[in-house]
Amino acid sequence: MPARWVKRLEPERETREIDPLILLTGATGYVGGRLLKTLEARGYRIRCLARRPEFLLPRLGQRTDVVAGDCLDKASLPPAMAGVHAAYYFVHSMGSGGKFEEEDRQAALNFGSAAREAGISRIIYLGGLGEPGEELSLHLRSRREVGEVLRNCGVSVLELRASIVLGSGSLSFELVRALVERLPVMITPRWVETLAQPIAIEDLIDYLVQALDVPLEESRTFEIGGRDQVSYGGIMREYARQRGLRRLMIPVPVLTPHLSSLWLGLVTPVYARIGRKLISGLRYPTVVRDPSTLDAFTVRPLGLQEAIERALRSEDREFVATRWSDAISSGSRPRDWGGVRFGTRLIDSRLEYVDRPPADAYRPIRRIGGKTGWYFANFLWRLRGFLDLLVGGVGLRRGRRDPEHLHVGDTVDFWRVEEIEPDRRLQLAAEMKLPGRAWLVFEVEGDSSKSSIRQTAIFDPVGLLGQLYWYALYPVHQWVFAGMLRGIVAASRTKGEKN
| pLDDT tens string 117-152 | 999 999 999 998 877 655 666 677 788 889 999 999
- Reply yes or no on whether the pLDDT at 92 is more than 90: no
| pLDDT tens string 243-259 | 888 889 888 776 555 55
- Reply yes or no on whether the pLDDT at 291 is more than 90: no
Position 262 scores a pLDDT of 56
pLDDT > 70 in the chain, percent: 80
User: What's the topology of domain 324-492?
Assistant: Alpha-D-Glucose-1,6-Bisphosphate; Chain A, domain 4 (3.30.530)
Q: Which of 240-244, 283-287, 454-458, 467-471 has the lowest mean pLDDT?
A: 283-287
Q: State the average pLDDT over residues 450-462.
A: 90
| Average pLDDT for the chain | 81
Q: State the average pLDDT over residues 446-470.
A: 88
Q: How confident is the model at residue 266 (pLDDT cuts 50, 70, 90)?
A: low
Q: State the average pLDDT over residues 270-299.
A: 74
| pLDDT tens string 366-411 | 999 999 999 999 999 999 888 887 877 778 877 888 888 888 888 8
- Does the CA dihedral 314-316-321-324 come out positive or negative? positive
pLDDT > 90 in the chain, percent: 43
Q: State the average pLDDT over residues 22-30.
A: 89
Q: Which of 395-404, 427-436, 469-478 has the lowest mean pLDDT?
A: 395-404
Which one has a higher pLDDT value, 1 or 196?
196
Domain ranges of the chain: 324-492
